[in-house]
């Protein structure tokens, strides 16, 4: 989100009093030179030094490829952190010393994060142009997903047929959202996660390419 959108969101939060809980677990998976703007940085730049009604959630799971670790940190408005700590006491589980030490090692090293980012970059560079020949798809600013519009607009049917015929799993976008004001923002699109290795992602892209051509003409 650009600074202008953050500004708009902060204005709305000021007006209506809601809390902004910003999930930033993909903050280190980006493709350009500049990292995406985080919520705390946006608040700082807009002079909101108390981070009022803003809380940011981070995670090691994407940055360090350790989704099983369930390790991250929460930062933001001190007024919100205080009750959050109490909530954690009753509803969170303590981390084992092994996980704590692994977390310290992962947060203390940037080399593996850069290597991970380069790997994603390579995957997207190879997969995106191939898929763009048959689908409406473009390189995102960040994250490890490609979102493509499907021919005919039925994302669930497209995903089911692709799985049945080519053994490739993608997520129908309509299942990730719900209808609001008459529209489901995920409808008509599929989400592809480029989390497997380069060769496997490329193989999947070839299969999707082939399937899409057949699906279009069927």
Ligand X SMILES: Cc1ncc(COP(=O)(O)O)c(C=O)c1O
* Shorter beta-carbon distance to ligand X: residue 72 or 151: 72
Q: What are φ and ψ of residue 186, in 5° steps?
A: -95, -10
Give the 3-state secondary structure of residue 80: helix
Q: What are φ and ψ of residue 54, in 5° steps?
A: -125, 135
User: Rule CB under 6 A: is residue 70 a binding residue for ligand X?
Assistant: yes
* Shorter beta-carbon distance to ligand X: residue 70 or 117: 70
* Shorter beta-carbon distance to ligand X: residue 65 or 161: 65
**Smallest gap, in angstroms, from Cβ of residue 58 to ligand X?**
8
Entry field: residues in the chain: 218
User: Rule CB under 6 A: is residue 153 a binding residue for ligand X?
Assistant: no
* Shorter beta-carbon distance to ligand X: residue 25 or 171: 25
- Spatial separation of the C-alpha atoms in residues 8 and 170, rounded to whole Å: 33
**Smallest gap, in angstroms, from Cβ of residue 57 to ligand X?**
7
**Smallest gap, in angstroms, from Cβ of residue 176 to ligand X?**
10
Residues from 7 through 66 that contact ligand X (CB under 6 A): 23, 25, 59, 61
* Shorter beta-carbon distance to ligand X: residue 61 or 161: 61
H helices within the chain, ranges in order?
Answer: 3-16, 39-45, 60-63, 78-91, 97-107, 111-132, 155-166, 198-217
Q: What are φ and ψ of residue 112, in 5° steps?
A: -70, -25
**Smallest gap, in angstroms, from Cβ of residue 63 to ligand X?**
10
User: Rule CB under 6 A: is residue 72 a binding residue for ligand X?
Assistant: yes
User: Rule CB under 6 A: is residue 100 a binding residue for ligand X?
Assistant: no
For residue 184, what are its two tokens? 């489901």
Give Cα separations from 169 to 22, 31, 36, 127, 192 (angstroms).
28, 24, 28, 15, 8
Residues from 157 through 216 that contact ligand X (CB under 6 A): none
* Shorter beta-carbon distance to ligand X: residue 25 or 102: 25
User: Each residue of 104-120: b (16+ CB within 10 Å) or e?
Assistant: eebbeeeeebeebbeeb
**Smallest gap, in angstroms, from Cβ of residue 81 to ligand X?**
18
Size of site (CB under 6 A) for ligand X: 7
Q: What are φ and ψ of residue 44, in 5° steps?
A: -55, -50
**Smallest gap, in angstroms, from Cβ of residue 71 to ligand X?**
6
Site residues for ligand X per CB under 6 A: 23, 25, 59, 61, 67, 70, 72
């Amino acid at each position: 989100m650009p600074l202008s959108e953050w500004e708009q969101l902060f204005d709305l939060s000021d007006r209506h009093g809601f809390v902004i809980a910003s999930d930033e677990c993909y903050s280190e998976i980006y493709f350009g030179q500049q990292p995406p703007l985080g919520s705390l940085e946006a608040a700082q730049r807009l002079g909101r030094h108390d981070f009022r009604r803003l809380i940011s959630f981070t995670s090691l799971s994407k940055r360090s490829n350790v989704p099983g670790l369930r390790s991250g940190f929460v930062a933001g408005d001190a007024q919100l952190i205080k009750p959050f700590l109490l909530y954690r006491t009753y509803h969170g589980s303590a981390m084992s010393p092994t996980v704590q030490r692994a977390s310290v090692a992962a947060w203390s090293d940037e080399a593996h994060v850069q290597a991970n980012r380069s790997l994603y970059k390579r995957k997207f560079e190879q997969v995106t142009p191939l898929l763009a020949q048959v689908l409406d798809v473009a390189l995102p600013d960040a994250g490890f997903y490609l979102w493509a519009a499907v021919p005919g607009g039925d994302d669930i049917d497209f995903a089911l047929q692709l799985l049945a015929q080519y053994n490739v799993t993608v997520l129908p976008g309509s299942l990730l959202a719900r209808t609001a004001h008459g529209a489901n923002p995920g409808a008509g699109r599929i989400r592809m996660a480029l989390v497997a290795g380069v060769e496997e992602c490329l193989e999947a892209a070839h299969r999707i390419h082939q399937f899409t051509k057949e699906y279009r003409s069927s």
